[in-house]
Amino acid sequence: MPLAIFDLDNTLLAGDSDYLWGQFLGEIGVVDPDSYQRENDRFFQDYREGRLDIMAFLAFSLQPLAHNTRADLDAWHQRFMREKIEPLITARATALVEQHRAAGDTLMIITATNAFVTAPIARRLGIPHLIATEPEQRDGSFTGRVAGTPSFREGKVSRLQTWLSQHDASLDGAWFYSDSHNDLPLLERVTHPVAVDPDPVLADHAAAHGWPVISLLDEDTPMQHRHP
């Protein structure tokens, strides 16, 4: 069965779960909202411009996991799902996933956002396979460090290659949907690359290579849910 691989943020979701998680933690008083927002915005600008230092970002973004109990984190995440994530799940994105499910394709999300944030979202979408950046855990608690290779840029390719070898699978006939030029290393390796509401760099690349360009935003999707 061919793989149907989806990026998550600003692809299957009409917004960025990583960014919104940090914003949410500020709103509920877990982190200082002003200073955290400034750093979050700085890192996101670096991401958009293709110069993100992923390890520096993760050192920043994983700290709240290390500084709070798992019980508190899980309770906050349940509220985060209700308040922030549910409004970002569009009918078009849901229909696309169901189209691939009906075709018998193997469904996967591959995202640079950490697995604590994204695993419940993958479950909500009914997507069984998730490759995400793994926060290191010790004795059931997060350390604030990364375990293994972050699934970002070329890291998505290497993490996927490991998964393929473990599951005796291949990229033959595979689809990959993404909004970001940071995903070009993987988009260029699949049979069916698809640009979804793409950033300008990816839009230009897709046009030059004849890749399909689609939108998964519903007509009434609130634009404030799209990270600026």
* Catalytic sites, residue numbers: 7, 9
188 near 156, Cβ under 8 Å? no
Strands 141-147 and 129-138: antiparallel
What residues are paired with 141 via a beta bridge?
138
Q: What distance in Å separates the CA atoms of residue 98 and residue 149, rounded to the nearest whole number?
A: 30
Q: What distance in Å separates the CA atoms of residue 106 and residue 127, rounded to the nearest whole number?
A: 9
Q: What distance in Å separates the CA atoms of residue 47 and residue 61, rounded to the nearest whole number?
A: 14
Of 197, 80, 177, 169, the residue nearest 127 (C-alpha):
177
| 3 state SS of 46 | helix
| Tokens matching residue 115 | 């697995």
176 near 186, Cβ under 8 Å? yes
